[in-house]
Amino acid sequence: MSSSQQKLGFLASPAPEAQSAFEELTAIYGNAPLSEADVIVALGGDGFMLQTLHQTINSGKRLYGMNCGSVGFLMNDYRIDSLYERIDKAVENDFHPLQMKTRNADGTTSIALAINEVYVFRQSYQAAKIRVTIDGHVRLDELICDGLMIATPAGSTAYNLSAHGPILPLEAPLLAMTPVSAFRPRRWRGALLPNKVCVELDILEPEKRPVNAVADNTEVKSVLHVTIQQSRHRTAQILSDPDHSWSERILAEQFSD
């Protein structure tokens, strides 16, 4: 199907800039119902892009974002002209999200997906105590820290980078395990893991040191046990301009100030 024959469906964040872009673009290109669209065009910032990605996982819809927000690392530049041609030339990136399963202090269980990262963090003034198990093998008997995250390559330039974790090339079959303010082991700075591993986190002394868990924007209170692994049967499809691809952005980020 040529790009000019593709049906475009538009979504916009509530931000005034995104709403204005929505009006401009739909007046030119129309606005197919999302169920009929070949490509969904998301207008907003990175937060809105993540929200839209979660909505379109396993839908078979390709997602093309344009930045109408503040950061826009996940987005292409906003331009009105030649949208069909840009989509036709765009590079397709397929991502398998992380799945977080939690067992909680109130007896419930929870499941959530993450495009960027899963992390646990202390709920009170007390540091968290966490046992870290990877593929059934205990790697850290007791990690004392403010928090711990597992980041995908797509999320490695987000919270992971702020916590001094490594930037991962988009094509790398890796996950970054990065502590936040690790106290013991004092010199442990994290690890690189194959993306097929199963990570289990046991929260130690949970009554004294309660911990919450987050998968992207889904937070679960007072968790006792967290399992994290890649969900291979779920896929999100994202389009990026070839001169502004995710791979190029991640590479460039490693040489920025």
* pLDDT higher than 60, residue 2: no
Please tell me what DSSP assigns to residue 76. Answer: B
Residue 162 annotated as part of some ligand binding site = yes
Superfamily of domain 3-96+235-253, CATH level 4 = Probable inorganic polyphosphate/atp-NAD kinase; domain 1 (3.40.50.10330)
Answer yes or no: pTM beyond 0.85. Answer: no
SS3 of 178-218: the string is EEECCCECCCCCCEEEECCCCEEEEEECCCCCCEEEEECCE
Mean pLDDT over 124-146 rounds to 97
Q: Is the pLDDT of residue 224 over 70?
A: yes
116 marked among binding-site residues: yes
Confidence (pLDDT) at 215: 97
pLDDT 10s digits, 62-82: 999 999 977 677 789 999 999
pLDDT band of 4, cuts 50, 70, 90: low
Query: β-strand 117-122 against 211-215: which pairing, if any?
Result: antiparallel
- Virtual torsion, Cα 145, 151, 156, 159, nearest 10 deg: -50
Is 146 labeled as ligand-binding?
A: yes
State residue 246's pLDDT score: 66
Percent of the chain with pLDDT over 90: 72
pLDDT at 228: 98
Tens of pLDDT, residue by residue over 149-194, are 999 988 888 899 899 999 888 778 999 999 999 999 988 999 999 9
Coil, helix or strand at residue 69: coil
Kindly report, residue by residue over 5-39, the tens digit of the pLDDT: 789 999 999 999 999 999 999 999 999 999 999 99
Q: Where are the domains of the chain?
A: 3-96+235-253, 98-230
* Catalytic positions: 46
The region of weakest confidence among 129-143, 204-218, 231-245 is 231-245
The reply to whether 81 sits in an annotated binding site is: no
Write down the architecture of domain 98-230 according to CATH: Sandwich (2.60)
What gap in Å lies between CA 38 and CA 28, rounded to an integer? 17
